[in-house]
């Protein structure tokens, strides 16, 4: 049975730690290389990744492509709308066909049930490139970024402010696996997915849920936010109004630790979830975070191919 990466718990805490360590050492090992040059050991020489996009992407698309090149393999993009999947061919048949043609499948889609269906029928690894439920690849890059900026995960105080969305769900899953704490500040009605909250708490993570943004960020080591309107959602005026007190601005950042770092998976909407001065500040690690998508994807791929 292939190793699928639909959520971080498919790998578990030890494997996520191994991914981060591997990413750090591979990143250091190719210092000075041009971006498309393969790592010296080319561990995925000859391997092909198919990437299916049912939603837009810049970082996930490019980072997986470059990750495959750096590992010695290649990637191809399937824009779902121009494939037979977009005309109604079943996920099950698509999974079985692709399994005979490529070595792994990455899919970005809406309904998480679709990726589960893909994994059930694929005989090669299936990787979650974002669903409405979760975005695990993003969080591996985020953890790598936090560590690279000099912070240890156990006991880390992470604050999430804004919408209780798919990225937050994966952050909560990581908190349970890697033993850090999360204070979640969301408006009423936009709280995180209860299943992820329950599981993180059961795993020993201390989670605080509040509708007070200041309480969420107080003395935090890391402040994280994301768009108030995820792909596939309406730009509802009442939601934007409810989110306004959760904007990450200098006043809010002043309640966090002085050396707190700011993360955002991007794309950002300056003046909505974050102000330009926070986004462009020295505390902001958003472009390192984006670059780290490549290094994280490489480790995720190596794990999926049982090389980690
Ligand atoms: N953060 C992220 O997943 O970016 P893309 O939507 O550009 O892939
Ligand atoms: N929560 C956002 C993340 C984009 C990378 C979305 O789902 O659109």
Could you state, in order of their start, the residue ranges of all structural domains in the chain?
Answer: 8-134+293-304, 150-284
Atom in ligand 2 nearest the alpha carbon of residue 233? 8
Task: Assign 257 a pLDDT band (cuts: 50, 70, 90).
Answer: very high
Give the pLDDT score at 81: 86
Answer whether 8-134+293-304 and 150-284 agree in fold.
yes
Give the pLDDT score at 79: 86
Give the pLDDT score at 188: 97
User: At 211, phi and psi to the nearest 5?
Assistant: -105, 20
Tell me: domain 8-134+293-304, CATH 3.40.50.2300, correct? no
pLDDT at 156 over 90: yes
> Which residue's CA is the nearest one to ligand 1's atom 3?
60
Give the pLDDT score at 126: 99
Q: How far apart are CA 37 and CA 301, in angstroms?
A: 17
Give the pLDDT score at 235: 87
CA of 265 to the centre of ligand 1 (A): 7
Give the pLDDT score at 114: 98
pLDDT digits (tens, 9 = 90+) for 128-138: 999 999 999 99
Mutate to test the pocket of ligand 2, among 56, 166, 224 (most ligand atoms within 8 A of CB): 166
pLDDT digits (tens, 9 = 90+) for 27-60: 999 999 999 999 999 999 999 999 999 999 999 9
CA of 57 to the centre of ligand 1 (A): 5
Q: Distances from the Cα of 143 to the Cαs of 17, 103, 211, in angstroms?
A: 9, 27, 25
- Over range 100-122, report the average pLDDT: 98
pLDDT at 80 over 90: no
Class of 150-284 per CATH?
Answer: alpha beta
Atom in ligand 1 nearest the alpha carbon of residue 60? 8
pTM: 0.98
Give the pLDDT score at 13: 98
Give the pLDDT score at 140: 98
pLDDT at 306 over 90: yes
State the chain's maximal CA–CA distance in angstroms. 55
Sheet holding 126-128, edge to edge: 74-79, 48-53, 104-108, 126-128
Nearest ligand to the CA atom of 290: 1
CB 39 within 8 A of CB 30: yes
Q: How far apart are CA 177 and CA 101, in angstroms?
A: 34
Tell me which residues are annotated as active site: 108, 135, 138, 226, 265, 293
């Amino acid at each position: 049975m292939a190793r699928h990466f639909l959520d971080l718990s498919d790998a578990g805490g030890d494997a996520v730690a191994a991914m981060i360590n591997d990413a750090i050492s591979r990143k250091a090992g190719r210092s000075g290389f041009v971006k498309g040059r393969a790592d010296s050991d080319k561990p995925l020489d000859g391997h092909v990744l198919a990437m299916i996009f049912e939603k837009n992407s810049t970082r996930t698309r490019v980072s997986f492509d470059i990750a495959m090149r750096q590992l010695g393999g290649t990637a191809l993009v399937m824009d779902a709308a121009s494939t037979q999947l977009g005309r109604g061919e079943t996920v099950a048949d698509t999974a079985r066909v692709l399994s005979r043609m490529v070595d792994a499948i990455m899919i970005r889609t809406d309904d998480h049930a679709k990726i589960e269906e893909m994994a059930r029928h694929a005989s090669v690894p299936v990787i979650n490139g974002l669903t409405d439920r979760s975005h695990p690849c993003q969080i591996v890059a985020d953890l790598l970024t936090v560590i690279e900026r000099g912070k240890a995960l156990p006991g880390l105080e992470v604050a999430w402010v804004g919408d209780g969305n798919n990225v937050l769900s994966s952050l909560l899953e990581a908190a349970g696996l890697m033993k850090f704490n999360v204070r979640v500040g969301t408006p009423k009605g936009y709280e995180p997915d209860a299943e992820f909250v329950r599981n993180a708490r059961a795993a020993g993570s201390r989670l605080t849920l509040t509708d007070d943004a200041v309480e969420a960020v107080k003395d935090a080591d890391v402040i994280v936010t994301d768009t108030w309107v995820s792909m596939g959602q309406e730009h509802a005026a009442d939601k934007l109004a409810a989110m306004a007190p959760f904007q990450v601005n200098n006043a809010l950042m002043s309640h966090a630790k002085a050396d707190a770092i700011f993360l955002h998976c991007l794309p950002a909407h300056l003046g909505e979830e974050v102000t330009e001065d926070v986004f462009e500040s020295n505390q902001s690690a958003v472009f390192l975070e984006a670059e780290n998508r490549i290094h994280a994807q490489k480790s995720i791929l190596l794990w999926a191919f049982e090389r980690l």
